[in-house]
Amino acid sequence: MLASKDNNTQAEEVYEPNTARPADSVYKVDQLNLWYGQDQALKNIELEIPEQQVTAIIGPSGCGKSTFIKTLNRLTEMIPSVKTTGGIYYRNQDIFDKKYKVELLRTKVGMVFQNPNPFPKSIYENIVYGPKIHGIKDKKVLDEIVESSLKGAALWDEVKDDLKKNAFGLSGGQQQRLCIARCLAVEPDVLLMDEPTSALDPISTLKIEELVQDLKKNYSIIIVTHNMQQAGRISDNTAFFLNGEVVEYDRTDKIFSSPDDKRTEDYISGRFG
Ligand SMILES: Nc1ncnc2c1ncn2[C@@H]1O[C@H](COP(=O)(O)OP(=O)(O)O)[C@@H](O)[C@H]1O
Ligand SMILES: [Mg+2]
């Protein structure tokens, strides 16, 4: 299906999004509720996330955006007070099923956080960390993964002569692209990004935005942003969250030009937020 996933045996045909064939879903979220102790943070969320598109999650601070995106790769279950009901289906598999392997999910679904969080190791070691856990030992194969992952994250040209240097020596924007490269190294399907540019300067932000446009050719991307201009620039679909609920979910151009709900209109026109 995809050039970069030549181990994919399902389909030989080339899939181009936005053509006659409708997009498949990577995620179906069904009546999802989540509580931190007594406080309900997600309320009856119903969403389908199409593949090979960029889906933006927008909404004011505290409305449940981070909680939602973390739930998609089961990061919230590490918090003892969390209780969840409803279903999340990744590629039609119930991720809350007891038999479902969370390690597999986290390989397929990579996550990038607000603040870049490289390991305190060399650039090279950051990238090969995941592949080594998956048992890849061959130096030549690892070298190839490092190069292709860094190229995929638009960082190769800037660091190819410095692979042994510590990742902490990179700028914030470079560190964030390194974190994206680290995700790509284990051949994911989906990239979750929680406000990936909010700690970055405008030029680094633009680089990440361009990168996201490029990455959607091969990956499905879900990005939380409180920057509405960013959602408008880079996403195909937008979900507007408010108080733990999805108020409106539609094509991004529709959300920003003629939303159905008054609350969406008020938010995107800056009346609150
Ligand atoms: N670990 C936690 N324990 C308790 N409450 C939390 C925790 N994380 C988030 N919350 C609460 O859940 C709600 C949603 O938070 P969050 O998902 O971080 O929103 P957003 O990312 O939209 O700002 C907020 O009321 C927040 O205080
Ligand atoms: Mg958040």
CA distance linking residue 91 with residue 8, whole number of Å? 14
Ligand 2 centre distance from Cα of residue 62 (Å): 7
pLDDT at position 219: 97
- Using 50, 70 and 90 to split pLDDT, how confident is the model at 5? very low
* pLDDT(194) > 90: yes
From the alpha carbon of 81, which atom of ligand 1 is closest?
Answer: 3
In sequence order, the β-bridge partners of residue 54 are: 221
Other Cβ atoms closer than 10 A to 55: 23
pLDDT at position 273: 73
- Using 50, 70 and 90 to split pLDDT, how confident is the model at 22? low
In this prediction, residues 93-97 reach a mean pLDDT of 95
Contacts for 261-266: CB closer than 8 Å, 24+ residues apart? 264/240
Q: Is the CB of 62 under 6 A from ligand 1?
A: yes
Q: Which of 255, 248, 243, 271 is nearest to 65 (CA)?
A: 243
* pLDDT(10) > 50: no
Task: Share the mean pLDDT of the chain.
Answer: 92
From the alpha carbon of 195, which atom of ligand 1 is closest?
Answer: 21
In this prediction, residues 101-124 reach a mean pLDDT of 95
Q: Is the CB of 66 under 6 A from ligand 1?
A: yes
pLDDT at position 271: 81
Which of 67, 70, 195 for mutating ligand 1's site (highest number of atoms within 8 Å of CB)? 67
CA distance linking residue 61 with residue 42, whole number of Å? 14
In this prediction, residues 137-147 reach a mean pLDDT of 98
pTM strictly above 0.75: yes
**pLDDT, tens only, 48-90:** 999 999 999 999 999 999 999 999 999 999 999 999 999 999 9
Tell me which ligand sits closest to the C-alpha of residue 77. 1
Listed in sequence order, the residues at least 6 apart from 106 whose beta carbon sits closer than 8 Å to its beta carbon are 73, 74
CB 123 within 8 A of CB 163: yes
Atom 8 (ligand 1) nearest CA: 67
Atom 16 (ligand 1) nearest CA: 64
In this prediction, residues 24-32 reach a mean pLDDT of 96
CB 46 within 8 A of CB 27: no
- Using 50, 70 and 90 to split pLDDT, how confident is the model at 174? very high
Atom 24 (ligand 1) nearest CA: 62
Q: 270 or 8, which is more confident?
A: 270
Q: Is the CB of 169 under 6 A from ligand 1?
A: no
pLDDT at position 153: 96
CA distance linking residue 235 with residue 49, whole number of Å? 12
Q: Which amino acid is at 48?
A: E
Which of 33, 34, 35, 36 for mutating ligand 1's site (highest number of atoms within 8 Å of CB)? 36
Other Cβ atoms closer than 10 A to 115: 14
How many residues in total does the chain contain? 273
CA distance linking residue 273 with residue 228, whole number of Å? 10
CA distance linking residue 169 with residue 174, whole number of Å? 9
CA distance linking residue 170 with residue 77, whole number of Å? 32
* pLDDT(27) > 60: yes
For the chain, what is the radius of gyration of the CA atoms?
19
Residue that the structure tokens 């931190």 belong to: 36
**pLDDT, tens only, 217-266:** 999 999 999 899 999 999 999 999 999 999 999 999 999 999 999 999 99
